[in-house]
Structure 1
């Protein structure tokens, strides 16, 4: 059985696979690899999916739909054949046809699919995508962000040289930006930003409005058939500009001959509001990545809309560098998904590649608003752009005297008030009957790369409640398996044995030093700790390599000092003569000291939801330090 990668796009969808040591795009029955994401209904015949449906958009706009991916995860419905369909159901029709095409070409059953989604899809949108795949008869354990797939394709094409890049994924309905660091066999997604309602369709609408203004047409009063014809003309002229400097728009509307010129300069002006939104997304991305434009090696263009000359012109002026175009921009994401499918099958040529990802939205819980408002506010647990898998544990206290229960409500989003974010679920647990602020619970969030969130709540009596939030339908056996896996407390890099041992050595040097030397070693400890706590693979690797170099210098300095103090006597044979062990017991003592310090890292307190005010004690070793009273 085969594993395929699927780019479920707003305008077009594609499928790819890794077979016989190479990457292949899977064609449809018409021989085309681009499969239009359109669905239509013909009375007496049934549904049309793909190219046949796209052709009916002009003639039968009432019974044909496209661009429904933009509304995935929402309550929007489309009427076809007298029945309402959700974006999830329509997407399932597209995925089912892609599955059948793949089984026809590969001559085998599809075991699993890797499906791409915009990086900025929230939990509901990802959940609906997995449901659509399940309805289409596909097993999908892993969704991969579209820019991440593009970065994977870039890495395969560009080779193994260390590079830092921004992936600009501009499709028909969405725009995604990803800040990516490529080193060794690792592709690390550092930060993402995006807009699920900004794409090439918006440029088509801008051209449509321009054409109507130029000819005195009122869009709101035009029949759907006429609007569909104008939109089609706008799309054709937009594409024509990609190969020439001018396109003349000509169309008869309501018996009136209408004309309007379209040039690169006119289109650039029409797109200025969209470019303003893009600029803000770039600022957001660079700030989250703690970087700047001068550190970027390449800007990789992805998505059919990124081919437009006005888009390239804007990006060149904004960033001061020419974009990198890989193959055809609307195929890059599918190629990356196909490569990842090969990784899943452990293809000999690519199985050692590692793709990391980040949490696109902040995950947190609702806590009482201390300003007196009735609206509860968000207390972040796992911040956006945290490297996955991620885990965080915090303490929350009661805010009412002798309250019996704490209700932990879980949200996803960046808004201050919890009601403006996406509600995911809740956990209730009884607490000791004590005055306000004295009863407490420890809340732990663990979020894995498959988008599964495990929330555990434990009270001071040792009682525990937990919930598993998965953006997919899981069987009882799968739920049990995932719960057991997530219950294993993940060790962040700073708590891994080899790193704790390394830090213990630095602490031992700090203890035996004084003055300026001690200050320098303290700065070393701070720098290394910061790198290990970042969670980013490149930062962790750099911290480890830097620590080894510094330890080598410190060891050499110690040997030089001992040689000087012992008048050149550097033989240690007398240790064995006196019966000493080979290992330096003082080092073990240093490690025990570090362990004892590390046990209290998570002593922090916050308030909780529904009338529970926050209090927080300071934490050590890289946990975020935050004064809830100031924040709220």
Structure 2
């Protein structure tokens, strides 16, 4: 068994695997010779899965499109029960494939790549967006467990990116903004490096803002042009024509970052159209997305109590940070403090690998050089060091509290106990509540996460129940509740009823797999761990 602890970036568009050792941080290559695995899955009715770069080709080569099912951007929906309707609700091959199961297949592909590279991916630090609710974090953990990966720790993506940046040749002290714009999510975190210690002091995220949304802007421009020219829309094309449209929209967006104008040929039902698109037109069409970026970024500063002038550096990571309009927006506010990582799409996996190396050593403080011999690499163990120590601390991205009954509104509402941005780990002081009816034989405390921007937005994450209470318990009986959260987001809830001297502590079962419904279809979690992965065009499974 390998004692190596890998770093995994399970991304919306791409996933990556890295490890760190005495020689530095290393990316694990894929079977295709790349360092990024597309987070794509194509299932067929024979019970096989093509994962990664092979998935689009498998869909294209299918004789009948109904014989395959293609999934992308499923990370946006992981751990969000309301999203299990729609494209995840319809069974395929007798199973319902939800985002946890699909993520399991991607992680199994990463395990196969590690095995091909001569090692075993058995234990890892796995990352998640800063804004994830606890059920989303635990759904991510569940996917890893199904894939056979022991999760040593979960880590927010911006903090992982900060570790990669801070432990390379660009290490600085001060207040750093980590701006992480990936394929499907935006995370903005404020990280403070002071007295040799690194900690997150604030942040906000947008779970549905990423490179895909900028692709969609180009796609809509294409649709408008085809509608005006031929009175046809994207939906009028066949599956292959629609796939090509999507592909060319993404390619046009990327080309516009290198040149001021692109020309694209589109075909629908035999009608061909040449569309010319300029960077300025594209950027003007992205106005609404820019506003969302501004809201999230300014909100992160506000939560941390900082201004742009207080920042020492702005680190841009995530593949979509290459967008010129995003870079320009940040440079207008932070000037030459803005720094784009050499490989912004690898920073998260690399940072997680740095933490993984530390955990493999037993968690002792890390001392690092100001400069490493290899750009972006961590120094060897016997290097002369400056005594910089990593203090891995984080903050709660959302408040945690309990549901109470609002008599004026005749409805439940969340009551925060541990507010958002509280440093972890933490234990709250007990707070008192009252029961709402006479004669209750049990007291149920419903624990929820609360959105820091909209307090009416909450997600239930579990219960703590005091059972077998004596009869005749009066309405208004006092109940004391305290919460204890660890660095990894684990939550202990203690409920105490002083009147009867009863107390219960619950370690919540967070992020449980949702049921598959009443259709009689088998759950897919076991199959996700067993279904053959097709990684070669000749159909060889691994």
TM range (shorter): 0.7 to 0.9
CA 1:260 to 1:370, structure 2 compared with 1: closer, same or farther past 3 Å? same
Q: Does 1:426 align with 2:463?
A: yes
* Aligned equivalents of 1:263, 1:53: Cα separation in 2: 31
Q: 2:193 matched to which residue of 1?
A: 182
* Aligned equivalents of 1:39, 1:336: Cα separation in 2: 26
Cα deviation, 1:66-125, whole Å, max 9, x if unaligned, reads 2111111132417555643111111101101111211332x3433411111111111221
Matches within 5 A, 1:319-338: 319-321=334-336, 323-338=338-353
Q: Does 1:89 align with 2:101?
A: yes
SS in 2 for 1:260: strand
Cα pair 1:428 1:465 within 8 Å, conserved: yes
* Aligned equivalents of 2:335, 2:171: Cα separation in 1: 25
Greater CA drift, 267-276 or 75-84: 75-84
Q: Which of 196, 202, 220 does residue 209 from structure 1 map onto?
A: 220
Cα deviation, 1:392-442, whole Å, max 9, x if unaligned, reads 1233242557554543211112289998421122223348967665x3122
Q: 2:113 matched to which residue of 1?
A: 101
* Aligned equivalents of 2:429, 2:130: Cα separation in 1: 26
* Aligned equivalents of 1:80, 1:258: Cα separation in 2: 36
* Aligned equivalents of 1:418, 1:22: Cα separation in 2: 44
TM-score by length of 2: 0.81
Greater CA drift, 180-189 or 287-296: 180-189
CA 1:398 to 1:229, structure 2 compared with 1: closer, same or farther past 3 Å? same
Q: 2:493 matched to which residue of 1?
A: 455
CA 1:322 to 1:212, structure 2 compared with 1: closer, same or farther past 3 Å? farther
SS in 2 for 1:327: coil
Matches within 5 A, 1:92-491: 92-105=104-117, 107-158=118-169, 161-216=172-227, 217-321=232-336, 323-346=338-361, 350=366, 352-371=389-408, 373-398=409-434, 400=436, 402-404=438-440, 406-414=443-451, 420-429=457-466, 430=469, 437=476, 439-460=477-498, 461-471=500-510
Deviation at 1:261, TM superposition (A): 1.6
Greater CA drift, 51-60 or 351-360: 51-60
SS in 1 for 2:96: strand
**Structure number, greater radius of gyration:** 1
CA 1:26 to 1:397, structure 2 compared with 1: closer, same or farther past 3 Å? closer
* Aligned equivalents of 2:108, 2:365: Cα separation in 1: 30
CA 1:432 to 1:321, structure 2 compared with 1: closer, same or farther past 3 Å? farther
Q: 1:72 matched to which residue of 2?
A: 78
* Aligned equivalents of 2:419, 2:455: Cα separation in 1: 15
Cα deviation, 1:600-622, whole Å, max 9, x if unaligned, reads xxxxxxxxxxxxxxxxxxxxxxx
Deviation at 1:224, TM superposition (A): 3.6
Aligned residues: 471
Deviation at 1:317, TM superposition (A): 2.9
Q: 2:522 matched to which residue of 1?
A: none
Deviation at 1:318, TM superposition (A): 4.5
Q: 2:54 matched to which residue of 1?
A: 52
CA 1:110 to 1:259, structure 2 compared with 1: closer, same or farther past 3 Å? same
* Aligned equivalents of 2:473, 2:74: Cα separation in 1: 52
CA 1:182 to 1:79, structure 2 compared with 1: closer, same or farther past 3 Å? farther
CA 1:401 to 1:470, structure 2 compared with 1: closer, same or farther past 3 Å? closer
Q: Which of 10, 14, 19 does residue 12 from structure 1 map onto?
A: 14
* Aligned equivalents of 2:454, 2:317: Cα separation in 1: 35
SS in 2 for 1:234: helix
Cα pair 1:398 1:406 within 8 Å, conserved: no
SS in 1 for 2:411: coil
Deviation at 1:26, TM superposition (A): 0.3
Deviation at 1:153, TM superposition (A): 0.7
Structure number with higher helix proportion:
1
Deviation at 1:178, TM superposition (A): 0.5
Deviation at 1:42, TM superposition (A): 4.3
* Aligned equivalents of 1:199, 1:161: Cα separation in 2: 28
SS in 2 for 1:39: strand
Cα pair 1:411 1:418 within 8 Å, conserved: no
Cα pair 2:237 2:268 within 8 Å, conserved: no
What 5-or-longer segments of structure 1 have no aligned partner? 474-632
Q: What's the Cα RMSD here?
A: 2.6
CA 1:82 to 1:317, structure 2 compared with 1: closer, same or farther past 3 Å? farther
* Aligned equivalents of 2:109, 2:437: Cα separation in 1: 59
CA 1:173 to 1:416, structure 2 compared with 1: closer, same or farther past 3 Å? closer
Cα pair 2:462 2:509 within 8 Å, conserved: no
TM-score by length of 1: 0.70
Q: 2:370 matched to which residue of 1?
A: none
CA 1:159 to 1:235, structure 2 compared with 1: closer, same or farther past 3 Å? closer
Q: 2:69 matched to which residue of 1?
A: 63
Cα pair 1:455 1:468 within 8 Å, conserved: yes
CA 1:397 to 1:84, structure 2 compared with 1: closer, same or farther past 3 Å? closer
SS in 2 for 1:215: helix
Q: 1:555 matched to which residue of 2?
A: none
What 5-or-longer segments of structure 2 have no aligned partner? 368-388, 513-542
